[in-house]
Structures are given as C-alpha cells and as structure tokens.
Amino acid sequence: MRKINYVSEINESVLELEQLLKEQTSSKLKERCEILIWLKSGQVLTMKAAVRLKNRTAVHGMSLWKKYKKGGITEYLSLNYHSKQSPLTGKKELEEHLEKEGFRTINEARIWILKTYNINYTENGLGNYFRNKKIKLKTGRPHHPKKDEEKREAYKKNMP
C-alpha cells in the first residue's frame, strides 16, 4: 500500500483551512476541515488515524480523500444531501381547498387527498406535512352553552 504525504498533497495552507473551518456552519463540514488541518499540519500522519479520532470508519476517510483529490476543497466541503419532496408539493387544488373551505380534521383532509389525488397518507404523516408547511387548524373560541347574545347586548348598552 502506497503511503500518501498529506502535507504536500493538500493544496491549501493550514491558515486557509482554519479560515474555512470558521466559515462552516454544518458540523459535518467543520469535522472535515479539522481532519484536513490535522493532516496538513502533520499532527496526524494517515487519513485512517484522523477519521478514527472523529469516530468514523477508514472507508469513510478514503471516500473523503477521493472527493478531495477529484474536486479539490469545494467538492470536499459540499454536502450532497437533497431532501425528499412531498407528493403534495405544488398541488394547487389542495391549496385552494385549504384557503376556501379548509378541513375540520386531519382525517377529513386525509380522505379528501386520497379521493382527489389517490395519495394515501397516515394521519401522523399528514399532520407532520401540515406542521412543516405551517398550516394550522382554525377553530373558534369556545362558547358557554347557556350564553344568551341578547342579554349580552342589553348589558353592553347599559354600560356607561
């Protein structure tokens, strides 16, 4: 197995890497910067040792090194994560129904979606979707069963 001289193979200086470390917001990318700093400064001699210090596998370290060699620091510091889109995203009819009529319950919404789009959601799944989209159930304030609106108006008129 060929030994890699990381000090000469890493193009960026330790100062540049430390600056990149400060700019990162993701903990994964900070971790990657720290690994490169250790390797460039000679604190750690092998990628395997560096990733072990971060509780990662040697295979993970080799894939990170391949990323660095292939695309440089920009490829190395990119996360290739794309969140999954909901099948309800962009459904105009659902948005119109929510604005005009709305739904009394999540189960009612679930049944309507099943009939309209043939998409089967669980109540919890649909509740999570609505929560992520900041759609809330609109309810009126509770009223006492013995409330008399006429007495209330008469009381208001007698107020000074």
Radius of gyration of the CA atoms of the chain, in A: 29
Euclidean distance between CA atoms 86 and 100, whole angstroms: 22
**Spatial CA neighbour of 48 closest among 35, 37, 29, 67:** 35
Prediction pTM value: 0.55
How many degrees, rounded to 5, is the angle at CA 82 between CA 33 and CA 95? 140
Check residue 140 and give its pLDDT. Answer: 72
**Token pair in block for residue 87:** 């099948």
DSSP for residue 33 = H
Which stretches of the chain drop beneath a pLDDT of 50? Answer: none
pLDDT tens, 63-102?
999 999 999 999 998 888 777 888 888 888 888 888 888 8
The string of DSSP letters for 99-147 reads HHT--SSHHHHHHHHHHHH-----HHHHHHHHHHTT-----PPP--TT-
Euclidean distance between CA atoms 130 and 88, whole angstroms: 11
Give long-range contacts, CB 8 A cutoff, 24+ apart: 61-67: 61/35, 64/32, 64/35, 65/4
